[in-house]
């Protein structure tokens, strides 16, 4: 806040921001509230307990779904982030920036239901084609290449998450001066050393943020996962199935709260770390940029 700003207006803006965040997060807070109720959702009497958190790891269905979801999230992140990073570097180097952005963001323009149904039909037809080729060649190892399962779900999640990862990394890259890479190359560094030693340390906050964002998107995604997953359950599909049938169990409320807290702590930690690093870098750069303001 500068010296001419109204302190009450400044505080009103903070109050407005906190009100918006509290409103958006109120469903999550309500789930956390229910997860500590001994009598579960809808009970007339609220009795505080932490018992459901001790039982979540004994719920076989939830733990199996959580393991599948973690596997999907880790695999998708390991594949999506390098692809998004290369796309962002290509965007910085090419003159056709509008075309690159349009192509990378194109999956967001298609409704999730339509894109998921299209992928479902596509994979089924591709799998039938490979089965026909295998039958014609007398081999069977191609029969499961595109059968609905882990691989097809990962492909669907990559299509879903790569636009977000690309945008997050690109925003961070906007602060990087490419002349630093040129200077490193002029001093004899290879392209990889120039990237790893000079560029990556300055954009890694964006890479880590994109990674965390991708993991959270994989946990939240339902439409693509439910249509492309084949015969296993994920965390989200189990919760939705419970809600549509007999209602979520108390362990599911506890697990939902547990996952939400981890996601909030992860994103919050990255934001705080990034802000602290930015402030430290600004304090370090100030004596160089403004030598007359440096303390004696």
Q: Where are the alpha helices (DSSP H) in the chain?
A: 7-35, 51-55, 60-93, 97-105, 112-137, 150-173, 179-186, 191-194, 200-220, 223-228, 235-244, 250-289
The least confident of 17-21, 102-106, 235-239 is 235-239
pLDDT digits (tens, 9 = 90+) for 3-50: 777 888 988 999 999 999 999 989 888 888 988 888 877 777 888 888
pLDDT per position as a tens digit, 126-175: 999 989 998 888 888 888 888 899 999 999 999 999 999 999 999 888 87
Highest mean pLDDT among 73-82, 191-200, 227-236: 73-82
| Nearest by Cα to 150 from 234, 72, 70, 61 | 72
pLDDT at position 293 is 57
Q: Copy the structure tokens of residue 87.
A: 């796309």
Note the pTM of the prediction, 2 decimals.
Answer: 0.78
Q: What is the pLDDT of residues 85-97, one digit of tens each?
A: 999 999 988 988 8
Q: What is the mean pLDDT of residues 58-85?
A: 91
HEC secondary structure over 235-255: HHHHHHHHHHCCCCCHHHHHH
User: CA 240 to CA 224: how far, in whole Å?
Assistant: 14
Structure tokens at 206: 């964006």
């Amino acid at each position: 806040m500068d010296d001419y700003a109204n302190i009450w207006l400044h505080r009103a803006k903070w109050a407005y921001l906190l009100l918006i965040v509290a409103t958006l997060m109120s469903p999550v807070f309500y789930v956390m509230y229910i997860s500590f109720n001994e009598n579960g959702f809808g009970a007339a009497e609220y009795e505080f307990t932490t018992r459901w958190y001790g039982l979540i790891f004994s719920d076989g269905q939830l733990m199996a779904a959580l393991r599948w979801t973690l596997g999907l999230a880790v695999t998708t992140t390991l594949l999506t982030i390098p692809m998004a990073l290369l796309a962002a570097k290509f965007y910085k180097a090419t003159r056709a920036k509008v075309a690159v952005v349009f192509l990378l963001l194109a999956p967001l323009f298609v409704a999730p239901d339509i894109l998921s149904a299209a992928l479902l039909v596509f994979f089924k037809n591709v799998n039938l084609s490979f089965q026909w080729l295998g039958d014609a060649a007398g081999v069977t190892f191609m029969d499961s290449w595109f059968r609905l399962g882990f691989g097809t779900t990962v492909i669907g999640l990559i299509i879903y998450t790569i636009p977000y990862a690309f945008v997050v990394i690109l925003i961070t890259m906007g602060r990087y001066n490419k002349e630093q890479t040129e200077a490193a190359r002029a001093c004899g560094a290879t392209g990889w050393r120039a990237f790893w030693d000079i560029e990556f340390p300055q954009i890694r906050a964006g890479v880590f943020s994109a990674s965390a964002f991708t993991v959270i998107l994989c946990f939240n995604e339902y439409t693509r996962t439910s249509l492309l997953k084949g015969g296993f359950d994920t965390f989200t599909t189990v919760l939705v199935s419970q809600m549509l049938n007999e209602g979520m169990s108390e362990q599911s409320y506890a697990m939902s709260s547990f996952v939400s807290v981890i996601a909030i702590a992860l994103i919050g930690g990255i934001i705080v770390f990034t802000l602290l690093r930015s402030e430290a870098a600004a304090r370090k750069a100030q004596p160089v940029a403004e030598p007359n303001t440096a303390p004696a």
